[in-house]
Structure 1
Amino acid sequence: MKMKNIAVIVLAALCSCTSKSALNQLSSEEEKEGWELLFDGKTMDKFRGYCKDDLPSAWSVSEDGAIHLAGAGKQEAGTHNGGDIISKENYGNFELSLEWKISQGGNSGIFILATEVCAHDSVPGEPMWRQSPEMQVMDNINHSGVKDGTLHEAQLAGSLYDMIPANPQNTKPAGEWNQVKIVASNGTVEHWMNGEKVVEYHLWTDDWKDMVAKSKFADSPAFVNLAKEGHIGLQDHGDEVWYRNIKIRKLN
């Protein structure tokens, strides 16, 4: 009986180690399906700063294998040598999978089809959030805008920011990992949160133009006429946030 118990314990330990070693890695099946890692748990070589050649120093790799933003905690984007980051490669039709964890009261975002409008000479630049669809990342319980009622449903985690609320709203609380997937295929985009589809929308359609016109992006031409390809972006909103298991595969 004791030997049987020991065998069970050893098996459980092996399973635990196997699961842990799979963090930020691709399975053989995923490799066959065309997945690639955007983050291997060791380096951020596939990212750079928005409108920058290198990475802002506030972004780093944590000891437990996650991309970590050491936010200022005051929702002041870009402070403390921060700023948004983007994938070095562009993507059009794709499936993106990752996990995120937000600090208490925190805010961040995942962007797709991001293009850069960088400041030069006397011409001002445009931030990424002004021209790219965003899957919101947020502490839905402790964020100040939730507590004082200034945020609406389409500004909560999982939502197409300021346009379509996530439904169902199944986000885990601050300090816990959320698994998300974004699928973009010929203009149809799906947001998945913790195994459930929570948002669907259709780019470059009259419905899309109507939604933009009713949002805070109404005066942003780049948001109406989105590029067919763009970067994957992670937002610095001034708050501490973690991302891991970031993988992507191109779709036809």
Structure 2
Amino acid sequence: MYTKITGFIIALLVMVSCKSEKKDETDSWRTKKAAVENATHNQLLDVEKEQGWELLFDGETMDGWHLYNNPNADSVWEVVDGELHSNANNESLTAGDLVSDKSYSNYELLLEWKISGNGNSGIFINVQELPQVPTAWQSGPEYQILGADHMDYDVPEKRPGCLYVFLPQQNTVEVKQGEWNKTRIKQVDGKIEFYLNGVLTAEEDLSSPKWEQKIAETHFSKYPEFGKTTEGKIALQYWYFETWFRNIKIREL
């Protein structure tokens, strides 16, 4: 009798163990790792469409973008595996910043980026694409993007997420080197907010006399179009190192 009962208990424990193992396997998709691996990029959810969001990058083409002041060039920018990539390894390609076809004034911009360790890039807003303005940075204020190994990483006014040269990070936040970082830029009637990985990093009123005074106190004062408007194109900076972008979306406000 004792042997039969013992055998039954052992068999029952084996069955329960097998069921538990099977459950662990079928539920593995619930883990964060699996969720990240199976995430869908460069697409809008139905709720985002209802809220007015539009994709600025479809993950397959360069539609909606062109090289600043050189739209027909064979540029360093390319689409690779659903990511917008700056190819820093082919010197035969035309270097330059990538600029949106459309201009924007009141909007919210979201995107994700990653960069090489010593890389330097940025997002320019209110860009005026004019023949007499050779580069996007000569008209558009910059949301700084910087790799953690860059020599300027600890310079307060050049930290990632800051309003380049003008303001240090309003709240301290580090870049996730080798991983995707999230940027949010909001502009309403010239008032801008910059966020890095969910943290507010800069605020400024680009329509105020104080902003004009700040420009006058920097080397940007040499460029007559810099920071003068609160409407313009969005540009992604190319600066000799690899940078990747994805999930670029905008909502006009």
TM bucket (normalised to shorter chain) is 0.7 to 0.9
- State the alpha-carbon separation in 2 of the partners of residues 100 and 81 from structure 1: 22
Confirm or deny: 8 A CA contact 2:74 2:93 kept in the other structure: no
Alignment partner, residue 101 of structure 1: 114
**Partner SS for 1:89:** strand
The CA deviation at 1:130 is: 1.3
Alignment partner, residue 85 of structure 2: 68
Confirm or deny: 8 A CA contact 1:96 1:248 kept in the other structure: yes
**Partner SS for 1:169:** coil
Distance 1:111 1:79, change over 3 A: farther
- State the alpha-carbon separation in 2 of the partners of residues 177 and 134 from structure 1: 19
Confirm or deny: 8 A CA contact 2:191 2:207 kept in the other structure: no
- State the alpha-carbon separation in 2 of the partners of residues 10 and 105 from structure 1: 35
Distance 1:59 1:16, change over 3 A: same
Distance 1:79 1:235, change over 3 A: farther
How does the TM-score come out when normalised to structure 1? 0.85
- State the alpha-carbon separation in 2 of the partners of residues 248 and 202 from structure 1: 20
Distance 1:60 1:207, change over 3 A: same
Distance 1:88 1:174, change over 3 A: same
**Partner SS for 1:144:** coil
The CA deviation at 1:16 is: 2.6
Confirm or deny: 8 A CA contact 2:75 2:96 kept in the other structure: no
Among candidates 137, 140, 148, match of residue 129 of structure 1: 137
- State the alpha-carbon separation in 1 of the partners of residues 52 and 242 from structure 2: 32
Among candidates 154, 159, 163, match of residue 162 of structure 2: 159
- State the alpha-carbon separation in 1 of the partners of residues 97 and 215 from structure 2: 22
The CA deviation at 1:215 is: 1.7
Distance 1:235 1:204, change over 3 A: same
Confirm or deny: 8 A CA contact 1:114 1:230 kept in the other structure: yes
Structure 2 counterpart of 1:39, one-letter code: F
**Partner SS for 1:218:** helix
Kindly name which structure, 1 or 2, has the bigger radius of gyration based on alpha carbons.
Answer: 2
Alignment partner, residue 98 of structure 2: 85
**Partner SS for 1:222:** coil
Q: Unaligned 5+ residue runs, structure 1?
A: 120-124
Among candidates 25, 30, 46, match of residue 28 of structure 1: 46
Give the number of equivalent residue pairs: 234
- State the alpha-carbon separation in 1 of the partners of residues 29 and 207 from structure 2: 54
Cα RMSD after superposing both structures: 2.4
The CA deviation at 1:230 is: 0.9
Q: Unaligned 5+ residue runs, structure 2?
A: 1-19
Confirm or deny: 8 A CA contact 2:169 2:202 kept in the other structure: yes
Residue 117 (structure 2) pairs with residue 110 (structure 1): no
